[in-house]
Amino acid sequence: MAEIKRRNFLGMALGGVTAVGAVASLVAMKKTWDPLPSVVSAGFTTVDISGMKEGDFFSTEWRGKPVYIIRKKSDAEFNAKRDFKINGAIYTLGIQICTHLGCIPIFHPDSNGFLCPCHGGRFTIDGINVEGTPPPKPFDMPPFKVDGMKLVLGESGPEYEAMLKA
């Protein structure tokens, strides 16, 4: 009888140790799979655009790519596919990488557009490729969310989704 009790105790003890080991392994595996905090924060760029005036051009970086933000000058320039509004002011943004072969086009305020130095590709202020020049499509747009007068690049908010649906 004492032998059976001892076996039951040993069986339960072994089962308990195994269960604790299994849980510890799962916790360790989850920690390994989760991205590091530095990686998570690197996915987002927050930009304060409260100081931008009409016609201003602002450049930043998101996930290692150049992103421009322009505050347009008038309502007549509004393009629902490429622009969004905050308190009535119109902004446009895009990833400033040429969709031809990846050079960095330069914004020229006087012509209200971008010129790519590599093969003469041109884009409008909206980031739309100009027909007859090498780029096959508009600039890509980063997902973004409006948070007051800040943009959070890397997060998809209603303004970004509305542009995609327009």
Footprint on this chain of ligand FES (rule: CB under 6 A): 98, 100-103, 116, 118-119, 121, 134-135
- Give min distance, CB of 77 to ligand FES, in A: 24
What is the token pair recorded at 120? 């003469």
Minimum distance, C-beta of residue 66 to ligand FES, in the bound complex (Å): 13
Nearer to ligand FES, 63 or 119 (CB): 119
Residue 84 CA to residue 78 CA, distance in Å, equals 8
Using Cβ positions, the residue closest to ligand FES within the complex turns out to be 121
Of 119 and 137, which has the nearer Cβ to ligand FES?
Answer: 119
Q: Which amino acid is at 4?
A: I
Closest distance between ligand FES and the C-beta of residue 57, in Å?
19
Nearer to ligand FES, 67 or 116 (CB): 116
Q: Which residues in 87-158 belong to E strands, given as ranges?
A: 89-95, 106-108, 113-115, 122-124, 144-147, 150-153
Q: How far is the CB of 79 from ligand FES (least distance, A)?
A: 21
Rounded to 5°, angle at Cα 145 from 142 and 148:
135
Nearer of residues 114 and 160 to ligand FES, judged by Cβ: 114
Beta bridge partners of 46: 152
* Cα–Cα distance, 14 to 12 (Å, whole number): 5
